[in-house]
Chains A and B, each alone.
Chain A
Amino acid sequence: MSDIVEKTLTALPGLFLQNQSVGGPAGVKASFSSRLGGLVRGITALTSKHEEEKLIQQELSNLKATVSAPATTLKMMKECMVRLIYCEMLGYDASFGYIHAIKLAQQGNLLEKRVGYLAVSLFLHENHELLLLLVNTVVKDLQSTNLVEVCMALTIVSQIFPREMIPAVLPLIEDKLQHSKEIIRRKAVLALYKFHLIAPNQVQHIHIKFRKALCDRDVGVMAASLHIYFRMIKENPSGYKDLTGSFVTILKQVVGGKLPVDFNYHSVPAPWLQIQLLRILGLLGKDDQRTSELMYDVLDESLRRAELNHNVTYGLKALTYVIQQDPTLALQHQMTIIECLDHPDPIIKRETLELLYRITNAQNITVIVQKMLEYLHQSKEEYIIVNLVGKIAELAEKYAPDNAWFIQTMNAVFSVGGDVMHPDIPNNFMRLLAEGFDDETEDQQLRLYAVQSYLTLLDVENVFYPQKFLQVMSWVLGEYYYLLDKDTPEEVLTKLYKLLMNASVSSETKAWLIAAVTKLTSQAHSSNIVERLIQEFTISLDTCMRQHAFELKHLRENVELMKSLLPVDKSCEDMVVDASLSFLDGFVAEELSQGAAPYKPHHQRQEEKLSQEKVLNFEPYGLSFSSSGFTGRQSPAGISLGSDISGNSAETGLKETNGLKLEGIKKLWGKEGYLPKKEGKTGDETEAPPVPQESIIMETVDQTLIKKDQCQVLTQSKEEKEKQLLASSLFVGLGSESTVNLLGKADTVSHKFRRKSKIKETKSGETTSAHNRTCFHFSSSSNATYEDDYYLDTLQDRGDKELNKLSLNSGLLDSESLTELPSVEKLSSCKLSSSPSLFTDNSMEGFQPSQSTALSVANETSLAASLLEETSEHMHSDLVEVCHNETISLSSFKIWKDDCLFMVWSVSNKSGLELESADLEIAPAENFKITEQPGCRLPIIEAESIKTFQYSVQVEKPFTEGNLSGFINYQMMDTHSVQLEFSVNLSLLDFIRPLKISTENFGKLWLSFANDVKQNIKVSESQAALPSALKTLQQKLRLHVVEIIGNEGLLACQLLPSIPCLLHFRVHGDVLALWFRSSCSTLPDCLLYQCQKVMEGS
């Protein structure tokens, strides 16, 4: 203890020495100065939280009195501030001191000011209203001749500064970029970086000065400027390509050890700088071969010099990324991965599971899912559970080896994931059960197994299942209980009734439960339980339940209606509903004839109500009926129904049931839990533990691997053997033999639970449909190539010029179609009758007025020629006038360049006078990055001439509709200036470009994307054929056709600059099944919207 005290004393040198030196009145101050020490020691001595609270509250009230007392000196104030900071760090409110912190920064001497600024930076955040009071102080200090004061002001500005006050300090800080002291320059750069983050528009004009900072002779200043460049380049990589060389040179110098030695960090030269530069180069080189080539040398050099770091998670992460490229690589590291799986650190375990998830296939699924479930049962964090549950469900659906395993795994998912999991999981599960696969017998078995399993689960007393799980159970039991072939559903009704009476069941779940009861009642209407239930709930306080109960009651009185309303196993059928309620026509007519008011639709009533405001609202508030499936027999999941899935005769299903083994189910939730036990269909694999069983399978798949393993096994301990065994079961199927065809996996693997696409093949080709089940098989069969040729033929046959002009394959462009520019003709005929001048041969960059009208025809062609020169490799839109007055006319068109959208505005001066200081400005728009092209700013527009302004536009994130607005102003000789406003619509499609990739890459990408959207859209008969649908997609959406297989197509595109999106589509009859996937979560939705629009439009 004594050495702690000693240490304490030496650690307080400043405070003590100061007070000793002051003397005299220091007696008073000394008590203040040592107060922090006293406070800290006092707190340390306390034993309970309660005592601490008392002490601090006491301290705070003392402080409050002191800081507001007029006699308190600034020196004392500084000490108080330190203690306030300390109290706040301990979690107590010291907000009364905030204003005093600002005062201290304002009035104190250097010493006090420093603490004042520190307190402000710790107490306040950048939106705090008190911060405005600091602005004046900052301005004053920035102008100070004392370097330390300037430094302090710059430091606070870089941390917190109110955005709206930036203009007050900006010029001062800009000046500091030229300061002689490097520390001031460095802090100024960082302050501007902060401004760039919170208000990028305000610092746009100083970009040039940043370049100077980048070339600063001081390393610190240069390094600070990299933060700004990193942000700016991230936002607009194409704007800074010219700096690539500079960054490469800097990196070369850093790597080559040219910096001062004190920038070394443990003999690595400036690692932070290196990382920052590498990140910047990464941004610049992305999707740009030419720029990348500049970097290869230095990257190679950096790599060689970098020492490899061995942190296990990091290695695993890297491996996870690598494996996405090539799963077989995991084989080399299998033992390491196994080690990590048993690592005591849950973080490492989780990373390992992530890796395993990537290499899962039909052969190792049971082991991997088992590992995942083990982890799941240990973890409590919601985020992890949601994430893992989703993965398990996905894997189970893809690779489940058999029915029992699948249902049991999903049971585990629902029990653990409960109400936090993604709603798609139960929805997909129910859809899968409802739609089934190609084999009806299998389907019925799966459904039956689910029913049995749920009945068993509901038998267990005192177990609470999550609401979502109960909902799934009620739906399945309601739909498929009949498969059990019992005379009456009394047993299950009892169970459902018990749940309905359970207080812990939510009312949403109750709606599902009563829906199930209703379905079951239609199969056996004389049930005491139903009677009781109706009695119970027709007087329920829950309006929704009461409604359901009444519906049930009335349906029971009309058995015929009930049966037709709730047919058995028709959940995938469309119900014919007379939406117009025509059967009421007679009633309505009668009422009307008796003087009843005609029906007004809701919106009309609403409008009328609004027009007579301040009238009492006599309308009842809308009842919130649960939307869960009572009215129809549809799944509550809202399946969109493919009408051609025929209902299977119940009999076939029942026959199958008889043969199914029922034993062993009771143990489902026993000690073994849901451990995958084969319920041997063949009967010979009884109760074999999963590991050895898996290794048997493995043997057949990867002989070489097991041989290698066997050699090792001989020399290894038993424990090692177990690990080896586990390894072999985990990594089975990754060998060279079964190179993973990422989309379809190897075709030999049977996909039990791959969902059948909603529109089935016509039954005619029953044999081939087995192949089609794995809906993406990429074996380029002759069939596919045939289709391809056919498609091309039809394209050429049509010889459609419009198509050619828009087609993305520049190879298809023929010059004839391009010379025809209707828009230009239109323009010249209606608007430019007096001004024949057009673009000159120097394409877009500049223009010269034409001299005489006689040249008009020639010029017109030269415009076409020059336009074409520029645009022949890019597609472009028609020229559209956006605004005009008697003097000028402004038109614009879009050029869809490969890397951006290029907007050209052309101003034509219709008057005979010169226009001065003509300027076109585009307002900054959220989500769009607009860059003016150099060389298009000419202050004067001569009489009867045309001038163009060019901008490149980039988009930040997907959107559906966008708009660019701006204005053009000009001055005519001796008159005031005129301003004209305009706006131009942007569509997402302006930023969509074809993505030319191979089928193989498509497959890889497809699997790596997590965001998908599926939708069926109906198209008109004429479009229904594959070629015409393809044509529309290719032309209007600019998708690249990757491959066509039968009636399915694979297309790919990217949102500029480089967000890929893939589309799989399938045509059947007049329905188009679209399936988008992308790395971006919103892009698929936006694209789907566009797709629907073009399909409806054409």
Chain B
Amino acid sequence: MQFMLLFSRQGKLRLQKWYVPLSDKEKKKITRELVQTVLARKPKMCSFLEWRDLKIVYKRYASLYFCCAIEDQDNELITLEIIHRYVELLDKYFGSVCELDIIFNFEKAYFILDEFLLGGEVQETSKKNVLKAIEQADLLQEVDAKSTHKTNDGRYKFSCT
């Protein structure tokens, strides 16, 4: 995977992870172009698009777009599932996650992403193992805060559209 972007329906970037070295200028240009392209697409349209020499896989969850860029030989469908697995992880961690969770705790969202994808490749696909790693790190730093995270009811606030 080349990069992952999370942005809102208003086009505000919420999270960005680049797995290829690019200059800030390029990153900004790519982000702007992609956000525009993806937001312009209608709900019924397909989740994949070819863009420059890359394939873009995106999915909208409630007000938030998850968007990944992969190379030509990569599989679009499995990438779509990567997005979904990430959302599941966020959901489990935050307990029915919503966009605000990610805005205000974006560093947590990054930590989770880093446990799931590393260097652009899937690191761990077991949901349990990813969360265990995060919780271990959390345990050492936020003993008090943890109890609030535990209250997850498994519901999705992000509904698939």
Cβ-closest chain B residue relative to A128: B21
Q: How far is the CA of A263 from the CA of B98 in the complex (A)?
A: 25
Q: How far is the CA of A93 from the CA of B25 in the complex (A)?
A: 11
Quick check: A219 and B126 within 8 Å, CB to CB?
Answer: yes
Q: Which residues of chain A are near B106, meaning CB under 8 Å?
A: 85-86, 89
- Asked if B137 is at the interface of the complex by the 8 Å CB criterion, the answer is yes
Q: How far is the CA of A152 from the CA of B111 in the complex (A)?
A: 10
Contact with A along B99-141 (1 / 0, CB 8 A): 0110111110011001000110111111111000100110011
Contact with A along B1-38 (1 / 0, CB 8 A): 00000000000111111110110100010000000000
> What bracket does the count of chain B residues touching chain A fall in?
35 or more
Q: Which residues of chain B are near A227, meaning CB under 8 Å?
A: 121
B:76-97 near A, CB below 8 Å: 76-78, 81-82, 85, 94
A:509-533 near B, CB below 8 Å: none
Cβ-closest chain B residue relative to A127: B21
- Asked if B156 is at the interface of the complex by the 8 Å CB criterion, the answer is no
A:61-86 near B, CB below 8 Å: 82, 85-86
For B136, give its contact among A13, A147, A312 (CB under 8 Å).
Answer: A147
Q: Which residues of chain A are near B16, meaning CB under 8 Å?
A: 89, 122
For A13, give its contact among B18, B119, B145 (CB under 8 Å).
Answer: B145
- Asked if B71 is at the interface of the complex by the 8 Å CB criterion, the answer is no
Quick check: A159 and B42 within 8 Å, CB to CB?
Answer: no
For B121, give its contact among A190, A344, A383 (CB under 8 Å).
Answer: A190
Q: How far is the CA of A946 from the CA of B41 in the complex (A)?
A: 71
Quick check: B144 and A18 within 8 Å, CB to CB?
Answer: yes
Q: How far is the CA of A312 from the CA of B149 in the complex (A)?
A: 39
Q: Which residues of chain A are near B49, meaning CB under 8 Å?
A: 347
Q: How far is the CA of A20 from the CA of B21 in the complex (A)?
A: 41
- Asked if B148 is at the interface of the complex by the 8 Å CB criterion, the answer is yes
Q: Which residues of chain A are near B48, meaning CB under 8 Å?
A: 311, 313-314, 347
Q: Of the listed stretches A110-118, A1023-1031, A1069-1077, name the one at the interface; the rest are far from the partner chain.
A: A110-118
Contact with A along B53-90 (1 / 0, CB 8 A): 00000000000000000000001111001100100000
- Asked if A742 is at the interface of the complex by the 8 Å CB criterion, the answer is no
Q: Which residues of chain A are near B21, meaning CB under 8 Å?
A: 125-127
Q: Which residues of chain A are near B15, meaning CB under 8 Å?
A: 89
- Asked if A755 is at the interface of the complex by the 8 Å CB criterion, the answer is no
Q: Which residues of chain A are near B133, meaning CB under 8 Å?
A: 151, 183
Contact with B along A342-380 (1 / 0, CB 8 A): 001101101000000000000000000000000000000
Distance between B37 CB and nearest chain A CB, rounded to angstroms = 9
Q: Tell me whether chain A's interface is mostly helix, strand or loop, or mixed.
A: helix
Distance between A173 CB and nearest chain B CB, rounded to angstroms = 14
Q: How far is the CA of A691 from the CA of B136 in the complex (A)?
A: 68
Quick check: B127 and A262 within 8 Å, CB to CB?
Answer: yes
- Asked if A698 is at the interface of the complex by the 8 Å CB criterion, the answer is no
- Asked if A260 is at the interface of the complex by the 8 Å CB criterion, the answer is yes
Q: Which residues of chain A are near B122, meaning CB under 8 Å?
A: 223, 272
- Asked if A265 is at the interface of the complex by the 8 Å CB criterion, the answer is yes
Q: Which residues of chain A are near B94, meaning CB under 8 Å?
A: 11
Q: Which residues of chain B are near A37, meaning CB under 8 Å?
A: 104
For B13, give its contact among A89, A194, A263 (CB under 8 Å).
Answer: A89
Quick check: A155 and B114 within 8 Å, CB to CB?
Answer: yes
Q: Which residues of chain A are near B44, meaning CB under 8 Å?
A: 344-345
Quick check: A190 and B46 within 8 Å, CB to CB?
Answer: no
Quick check: B46 and A348 within 8 Å, CB to CB?
Answer: yes
Residues of A within 8 A of B (CB): 4, 7-8, 10-14, 17-18, 21, 36-37, 40, 82, 85-86, 89-91, 93, 110-111, 114-115, 118, 121-122, 125-127, 147-148, 151-152, 155, 158-159, 183, 186-187, 190, 193-194, 197, 219-220, 223-224, 227, 260, 262-263, 265, 270-273, 275, 309, 311-314, 344-345, 347-348, 350, 383
Q: Could you write out 26 A-B pairs with CB less than 8 Å apart? A: A7-B98, A8-B100, A11-B105, A13-B145, A13-B149, A14-B142, A82-B107, A86-B106, A110-B140, A118-B107, A155-B118, A159-B114, A159-B118, A183-B129, A186-B124, A193-B121, A223-B122, A272-B82, A272-B125, A311-B77, A312-B46, A314-B48, A345-B41, A347-B46, A347-B50, A348-B45
Residues of B within 8 A of A (CB): 12-19, 21-22, 24, 28, 41-42, 44-50, 52, 75-78, 81-82, 85, 94, 98, 100-101, 103-107, 110-111, 114, 118-119, 121-129, 133, 136-137, 140-142, 144-145, 148-149
11 further A-B contacts with Cβ under 8 Å, apart from A17-B144, A122-B17, A272-B81, are A13-B145, A89-B13, A110-B140, A118-B107, A125-B22, A148-B137, A151-B137, A159-B19, A187-B118, A272-B122, A311-B46
